[in-house]
Amino acid sequence: MVAKNGRRSWAEPYKIKVVEPLKTTTREERRRAIEEAGFNTFLLRSEDVYIDLLTDSGTNAMSQDQWAGMMLGDEAYAGSVNFYNLERAVAEYYGYPYLVPTHQGRGAEHILSQVWIEPGDHVPNNMYFTTTREHQERAGGTFVDVIIDEAHDPKSEHPFKGNVDLGKLGSLIEEVGAEKVPYVSVAATVNMAGGQPISLENLRAVRELTRSHGIKVVLDATRAVENAYFVKHREAGHEGRTVAEILHETCSLSDAATVSAKKDLLTNIGGFLATFDEELFEEARALVVVYEGLHTYGGLAGRDLEAMARGIVEMVDEDYLHSRIGQVEYVGEKLAEAGIPIVRPVGGHAVFLDAKGFFPEMPQDHFPAQTLAAELYLDSGVRAMERGVVSAGRNRETGEHNYPSLELVRLTFPRRVYTQAHCDVTVESVLEVWNNRENVRGLRMVHEPKHLRFFQARFERL
């Protein structure tokens, strides 16, 4: 049967071999659970969650080949064979000759920031990401947003809302001096903008501008495979290329990359810093011993290194990518057809609900996105994540909330985990919350951690 849009139905390119039971709960049980969690979905117990769309970080289902590789873990303290397998895979698919493994992506961000950022530096980014910005600022840098304006507009249909605004970047360099800009931090895709990609054309232009000023480019390649998929399908001239080829070129336009292996690489733990820069490699390899573990294991077991190496091969399979991104598109299209305000176009790893669209009269300091995430869990047991004023934190100079233009709730889909039926349940729950939105009250924060508050903050009803 052919759908109205002319597309044939598709199915996941795998079959289920092992199942994990899910627990259904009553509304009263969910009410108690969310109140005990201080209306913060991060503080819910996993056993109280029905469909967990909190994050795609480390929540993926590994393949039989990855699980088989886990049994070949070489747990030697130094020189594990699995490290060299990973090193070869990174060189082949990403192109970087130098590899420093870390326990996860923020370990790589921390080490990079310690090596390349000096107090007083300015680090331009195509929109902030929470842990990236935290490490840059703790190293003495100042975050500067240089993303295009369309990224801050959830209704914009710009196909590459992750693009860097070259005018903003050029103005910053002119204002502070190139010597105060150690590198440009480029995410592919941009999580906080709704999982939006950056085009190869734009990345080439960034590379050309920075090279003329002697400034380096660092790629957050955590979801670079999904970015490559969008380049193939949205950017003219790349239709006939493979995702693997596009990924390789993307990385070639940078000096280094930080990667959380818990996303694209289909693993439950792991990360790395990879680079073309031998000097950075030597300094990072020295620091990883201080913060993570020996340079050939970086805080990971040999079996985890092997799962990462095998995941790199699997992550560029285009049947898998079509299924993975198609699942997200399916939910996004269902919600858009029902008139639900979401970030457009739909990104690669998640559908982002526009909380301002749900609660247009709710002030941002009543935390609309946090409220919406709590309401969604209360309705159905679906756990989502706030990406708004709570995640944005406070201004380090004034102490006031940072008020981002985007106040979002992220429905993040783990890779190879949920079926279309789970997607339909999620859509129905969002619709139910939407239909009852006028009865919802906001929240006030009653506990605020000093760092990355969105993980542990607690709230109560106004």
Catalytic residue chosen out of the listed positions 83, 98, 129, 143: 129
Which are the contacts of 404, defined by CB distance < 8 A and separation ≥ 6? Answer: 152, 192, 388, 389, 392
- 106 carries an active-site annotation: no
Q: How many whole angstroms separate alpha carbon 367 and alpha carbon 232?
A: 37
Catalytic residue chosen out of the listed positions 352, 359, 454, 459: 454
Report how far apart, in Å, the C-alpha atoms of 232 and of each of 228, 243, 372, 415 are.
6, 7, 34, 20
Catalytic residue chosen out of the listed positions 106, 161, 263, 334: 263
- State the maximum Cα–Cα separation within the chain, in Å, rounded to a whole number: 61
- The token pair at 398 is 């004034």
Q: 78 in the Ramachandran plot: left (φ > 0), alpha (ψ -120 to 50) or beta? A: beta
- 454 carries an active-site annotation: yes
Catalytic residue chosen out of the listed positions 48, 52, 121, 220: 220
Q: Are 253 and 210 in contact (CB under 8 A)?
A: no
Catalytic residue chosen out of the listed positions 77, 149, 211, 419: 77
Catalytic residue chosen out of the listed positions 41, 55, 102, 130: 130
| Amino acid, res. 307 | A
Tell me phi and psi for residue 410, to 5 degrees. Answer: -100, 120
Kind plus residue range of the DSSP H or E element containing 258: strand 256-260
- 387 carries an active-site annotation: yes
- 220 carries an active-site annotation: yes
DSSP single-letter state for residue 240: T
Catalytic residue chosen out of the listed positions 216, 232, 387, 453: 387
Q: Are 355 and 372 in contact (CB under 8 A)?
A: yes
Strand partners, 387: 408
Q: Are 112 and 138 in contact (CB under 8 A)?
A: no
Q: How many whole angstroms separate alpha carbon 442 and alpha carbon 384?
A: 17
- 128 carries an active-site annotation: no
Which are the contacts of 409, defined by CB distance < 8 A and separation ≥ 6? Answer: 352, 353, 355, 369, 372, 373, 376, 384, 385, 386, 387, 388
Q: Are 108 and 259 in contact (CB under 8 A)?
A: yes
Q: What are the catalytic residues?
A: 77, 129-130, 220, 263, 387, 454
